[in-house]
């Protein structure tokens, strides 16, 4: 089975580890609008796409005991490099040498010995832009996340093309998994790229949206409706065939004693792997019918 995952942050990297045992071909499309931390500093000084979530996904798939994993995982403490990850700097170097974020990621991933495909959502830098109810425009993920109210509208600061291979991967997928992760900063960015939006709407793949497992401390905490409904309203198109909440995740694998330890936990790789082991055991039509009858928090669009 060919599975394509779209997202960012810790959610996407953990999802990749969970799904890897269950599919023959795995591709990740990573959001590249982060403007905080080491990534934000590099973006500001070098005008590149966000590299941090890409690095995190690549390292998550690599052998954690290997020397190269430890080296690229290192984060500097003190001096001009304070806070920078060596993995981010390596990706920056490869991007400058290849003039292509996509090629840089491919080389970095190969250095780590990974067989999975990691793609940036675009080779062109862009940022999230929010329009508030007052009409004020808020630029960048960090400032948007710190707002007290949800934006009326979200877009990209400039239109960009999907990175090479992204649209083809979505078109050829058997299953498309969106999330889990922050709705605004992990899920939305790639879905706002026009080429990706069209591919998501036209693909014949089963499109599965996984709600965030960890509670968000960002502006999204004020959301008072179902995440899938809010996302579809903001995006302006239907992007999933099924959506699964935290409660539904626990129901799917209810015969595992420790499926959900706490609603505030970070994404648990073993639990996610159990979930998809169960989902992929049966045909989609049967799976949806059975799951909906057992728990109404799984919704079929």
- What whole-number distance in Å separates Cα of residue 243 and Cα of residue 179? 10
Residues 75-80 have a mean pLDDT of: 92
Local structure of residue 185 (DSSP, 8 states): I
The Cβ-side half-sphere exposure at 299, using a 13 Å CA radius, reads 13
Residues 163-179 have a mean pLDDT of: 96
Q: CB–CB of 91/123 below 8 Å?
A: no
- pLDDT of res. 3: 95
pLDDT tens digits for range 265-300: 445 677 777 777 766 765 544 344 344 333 334 565
Q: Which domain holds residue 151?
A: 2-300
pTM: 0.89
Burial environment of residue 53 by CB neighbours within 10 A (0 to 12, 13 to 18, 19 or more): buried
Number of C-beta neighbours around residue 280 at 10 A? 16
pLDDT tens digits for range 46-63: 999 999 999 999 999 999
Local structure of residue 120 (DSSP, 8 states): E
pLDDT tens digits for range 185-202: 999 999 999 999 999 999
Can you give the length of the chain in residues? 301
Residue 176, φ and ψ in degrees, nearest 5: -115, 120
pLDDT tens digits for range 23-36: 889 999 999 999 99
**Closest by CA position to 50, among listed 130, 159, 137, 123:** 123
Strand-pair partners of 5: 28, 177
Note the helical H segments in 99-140.
Answer: 101-111
- List the 175-178 sheet strands across, edge first: 117-120, 25-30, 2-7, 175-178, 206-210, 242-244, 298-300
CATH number at residue 268: 3.40.50.10680
Residues 162-167 have a mean pLDDT of: 98
Domain count for the chain, please give it.
1
- pLDDT of res. 100: 97
Predicted confidence band at 244 (pLDDT cuts at 50, 70, 90)?
confident
**Closest by CA position to 4, among listed 13, 14, 16:** 16
Which residue matches tokens 């959001």? 31
- pLDDT of res. 87: 96
pLDDT over 70 (residue 125):
yes
Q: CB–CB of 182/9 below 8 Å?
A: yes
- What whole-number distance in Å separates Cα of residue 217 and Cα of residue 244? 21
SS3 264: coil
- What whole-number distance in Å separates Cα of residue 276 and Cα of residue 281? 8
Residues 224-250 have a mean pLDDT of: 87
- What whole-number distance in Å separates Cα of residue 195 and Cα of residue 156? 13
- pLDDT of res. 85: 93
Q: How many whole angstroms from its chain centre is CA 15?
A: 9
């Amino acid at each position: 089975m060919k599975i394509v995952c779209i997202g960012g942050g810790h959610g996407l990297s953990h999802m990749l580890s969970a799904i890897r045992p269950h599919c023959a071909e795995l591709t990740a499309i990573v959001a590249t609008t982060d403007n905080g931390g080491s990534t934000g500093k590099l973006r500001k000084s070098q005008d590149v796409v966000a590299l941090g979530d890409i690095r995190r996904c690549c390292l998550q798939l690599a052998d954690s005991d290997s020397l190269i994993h430890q080296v690229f995982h290192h984060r500097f403490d003190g001096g001009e490099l304070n806070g920078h990850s060596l993995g981010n700097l390596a990706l920056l170097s490869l991007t400058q040498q290849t003039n292509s974020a996509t090629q840089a990621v491919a080389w970095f991933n190969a250095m780590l010995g990974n067989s999975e495909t990691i793609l940036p959502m675009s080779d062109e830098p862009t940022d999230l832009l929010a329009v508030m109810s007052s009409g004020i425009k808020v630029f960048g993920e960090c400032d948007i996340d710190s707002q007290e109210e949800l934006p009326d509208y979200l877009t990209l600061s400039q239109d960009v093309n999907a990175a090479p291979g992204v649209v083809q991967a979505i078109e050829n997928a058997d299953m498309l998994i969106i999330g889990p992760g922050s709705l605004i900063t992990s899920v939305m960015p790639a879905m706002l790229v026009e080429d990706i939006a069209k591919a998501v709407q036209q693909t014949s793949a089963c499109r599965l949206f996984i709600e965030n497992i960890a509670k968000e401390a960002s502006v999204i905490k004020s959301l008072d409706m179902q995440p899938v409904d809010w996302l579809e309203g903001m995006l302006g198109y239907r992007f999933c065939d099924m959506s699964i909440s935290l409660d539904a995740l626990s129901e799917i694998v209810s015969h595992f004693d420790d499926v959900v330890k706490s609603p505030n936990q970070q994404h648990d790789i073993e639990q996610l792997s159990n979930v998809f082991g169960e989902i992929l055991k049966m045909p989609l039509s049967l799976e949806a019918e059975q799951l909906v009858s057992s728990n109404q928090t799984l919704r079929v669009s």
